[in-house]
A and B are shown apart, each in its own frame.
Chain A
Amino acid sequence: MNRQRRVSWVLLAVAVCGALAAVIAGQVVAKPSALTVAAASDLRPAFEELGAVFEKSTGRQVVFVFGSSGMLARQIEAGAPYDVFASADPAYIDALLAKGRLVPATRRIFALGQIVLALRPNSGLHTETMADVLQPSVRTISIANPDHAPYGAAARHALQAAGVWENAQQRIIYADNAAVAVRFLETGNADAGIVPLSLAKAAGLDYKPVDPALYDRLQQTIVAVPNGRQAEAAQEFITFLEGPQSSQILDNYAYMLPGAQ
């Protein structure tokens, strides 16, 4: 066999391998059988625990996608194949409802979230009130990005209401979502942070509650996304979320239940 032929054969072999890989990929990847729940990042520890219980009791499969509520809402608007959307702010859900992108009858406020002033481990800092973030040894304050993360918006609101926003602004680092804001604290890359109570507690951080007069508690809202795949399972998940098992788990992660204030 001459050399040109051999090279052609090698190129052909490469193309065939690629085509085979492509065919196998097409068959294995496209299996959207699980219920896909897009949830605000503060819900990660609670929902992961809750999801395991849901799977056990219903035999259904559930996968979670976590991010800031604003980002997830934007993805749903663009057509993301989520079946359920759990937002930390009903405003994002209501905006999508107005555009006819969600199932109105399924909308529920299932928990109330709170923010705390948390510190990085071994910081040696002492904070009581919001004004304490202005002490010189607090060089960085992590909050979620208020533009698309409800917990960030609540943090900014509390700092403004406490009258320290102007002076604190230089020290603020904005995280993609509330979970990342907590990560900055856990890794010691931020000194203080105004973050969800659920995550600060789960991460074992040192924290002080933020005076509820300084912000509105976060109304964690859930709704089904109609995309024709998992309507029944979506409804089942929302119903499950209001059941006693879920209430117990949400309570463990320090969420308040609506109507039980």
Chain B
Amino acid sequence: MITDPDLLPLLLSFRIAAMATLLNLTAGLAVAWLLARCRFPGHGVIDALTTLPLVLPPTVLGYYLLVVLGHEGAGRFLEEALGVRLVFTWQAAVMAASIAAFPLFVQPVRAALEGVDREVENAARILGRSELGVLMTITLPLAWRGILTGLVLAFVRSLGEFGVTLMVAGNIPGQTRTMSIAIYDAVQAGRTGTANMLVAVMTVVVVAVLILARTMVRSIRW
């Protein structure tokens, strides 16, 4: 167990990134499937909205989130009706991380789903597989490389999330001070030793995750 207070942000970052990635796995998979397989009015709009977090400055995203979730926005009603306050909590950090990473999950998954041969799916249907069966045994397995790529990209992006998090979740030790924010804080405070250590740890962790993912994609032969 990590007890060094300087390394607690690493633990926090991992938890927040894991939750954000899980959120993306469910919501992102649904959106990617919708974009890849369905044609409906507003398709283009949803497509553009999905890509937005990738191109908008984090400050703009952070500002939107702060206005929506904050005391001037929906946050006030949430607080008055349910007693729930979102801004400057770890839940807000999870939302920030998942929104920032959303396009990085959806794009590769969508491309992978589009690449699945519909004839194979239809063959399975003719042979009596249910729709859920087709999805679980044909579509998702054939798209697994895209899904894994999306998961890894989204996780690493969430792990390093900074701008949106700082705006909506702040810099509260033990609650929302993730690795990237701890690095920013250490630099601001002039704690060069801590900053060097955190930067080194962050670099090693991200490189390790990427190498692990690469090895997984390469070594698993079905």
State the A residues within 8 Å of B (CB).
3-8, 10-11, 14-15, 18-19, 21-22, 24-26, 28-32, 34, 36, 41, 44, 63-67, 75, 77-81, 176-177, 179-180, 182-183, 186, 203
Contact = CB atoms under 8 A, between A and B. Distances in A.
Contacts of A18: 18-19, 21-22, 25
Contacts of B198: none
14 contacts: A7-B144, A15-B25, A18-B25, A22-B22, A24-B15, A29-B12, A29-B174, A30-B90, A32-B175, A34-B174, A44-B189, A75-B170, A81-B175, A183-B190
B190 A21 contact: no
B88 A75 contact: yes
B163 interface: no
Given A79-B87, A80-B87, A80-B88, A21 B19 contact: yes
B64 to A, nearest CB: 13
B190 A203 contact: yes
Given A36-B172, A79-B70, A80-B170, A7 B12 contact: no
B156 interface: no
B22 A19 contact: yes
B57 interface: no
B90 A7 contact: no
Interface string B62-86: 0000100011100100010000010
B136 interface: yes
B136 A28 contact: no
Contacts of A44: 189
A21 B18 contact: yes
Contacts of B151: 14
Contacts of A183: 187-188, 190
A79 B22 contact: no
Contacts of A79: 70-71, 75, 79, 85, 87-88
B171 interface: yes
B196 interface: no
Given A18-B25, A75-B170, A29 B90 contact: yes
A124 B136 CA distance: 71
A5 B137 contact: yes
B138 interface: yes
Nearest to A187: B190
Nearest to A6: B222
Interface residues of B, number: 42
A25 B174 contact: no
B51 interface: no
A185 B191 CA distance: 15
Nearest to A21: B18
Given A31-B174, A44-B189, A11 B147 contact: yes
Interface string B82-99: 000101111000000000
A7 B11 CA distance: 29
A95 B85 CA distance: 22
Contact of B88 (A24, A78, A186): A78
A77 B194 CA distance: 31
A78 B64 CA distance: 13
Contact of B188 (A34, A36, A180, A203): A180
Contact of B19 (A14, A25, A31): A25
Contacts of A203: 190
Contact of A65 (B79, B144, B170): B170
A77 B15 contact: no
A64 B144 CA distance: 45
A19 B144 CA distance: 19
Interface in B152-183: 170-175
Nearest to B72: A78
Contacts of B147: 11
Contacts of B71: 77-79
A25 B15 contact: yes
Contacts of B113: none
A14 B216 CA distance: 13
A66 B187 CA distance: 13
B140 interface: yes
Contacts of A180: 188
Contacts of A63: 172-174
B44 interface: no
Contacts of A21: 14-15, 18-19, 22
Nearest to A5: B137
Contacts of A14: 25, 151
A186 B189 CA distance: 11
